Amino acid sequence: DAGVTQSPTHLIKTRGQHVTLRCSPISGHKSVSWYQQVLGQGPQFIFQYYEKEERGRGNFPDRFSARQFPNYSSELNVNALLLGDSALYLCASSPLRQTLGDTQYFGPGTRLTVL
């Protein structure tokens, strides 16, 4: 079975622009989470979605938004990009409904560079 896939692999944007990152979960997984990983740090939680509803949100500004589609794929949108948004954006999927301790499986990430 295919793992979590993300697109694009790399992206270069300029300040003030908007970006959309995409994620397809492992087949059968209904929950998708997004994380931001700045160079040299651990991933930081941004959102979790289950059945198209937001189930959790990290400490990120409203410029960050996401949605989940009926096929459980997801998009992360970031508006008004700042230099500090440069990071690796990781998507993770899990099989069960927002269960504590549900193992999350990560995709390869999208490397976003903001100039």
Partner 1 sequence: AQKVTQAQTEISVVEKEDVTLDCVYETRDTTYYLFWYKQPPSGELVFLIRRNSFDEQNEISGRYSWNFQKSTSSFNFTITASQVVDSAVYFCALSEARAGGTSYGKLTFGQGTILTVHP
Q: Applying CB under 8 A, which residues contact partner 1?
A: 31, 33, 35, 40-45, 48, 55-56, 58, 88, 90, 92, 94, 98-109, 111
**C-alpha to C-alpha distance for 56 and 98, rounded to whole angstroms:** 9
Q: In the complex, what is the shortest distance from the CB of residue 103 to partner 1, in angstroms, rounded to a whole number?
A: 5
Minimum distance from residue 81 beta carbon to partner 1 (Å): 20
Give helix then strand counts, H and E, for the chain.
0, 11
- Pick 13 or 108: Cβ nearer partner 1: 108
| Shortest Å distance, C-beta 49 to partner 1 | 10
* Cβ closest to partner 1, residue 41 vs residue 71: 41
Instruction: Give residues with Cβ within 8 angstroms of 37, minimum separation 6.
Output: 43, 44, 87, 88, 89, 90, 109
Asked if the bond preceding 8 is cis, omega within 30° of 0, the reply is: yes
Taking the chain, what is the end-to-end CA distance rounded to the nearest angstrom?
37
Name the minimum Å distance from CB 21 to partner 1.
Answer: 14
Comparing CB distances to partner 1, the nearer of 48 and 68 is 48
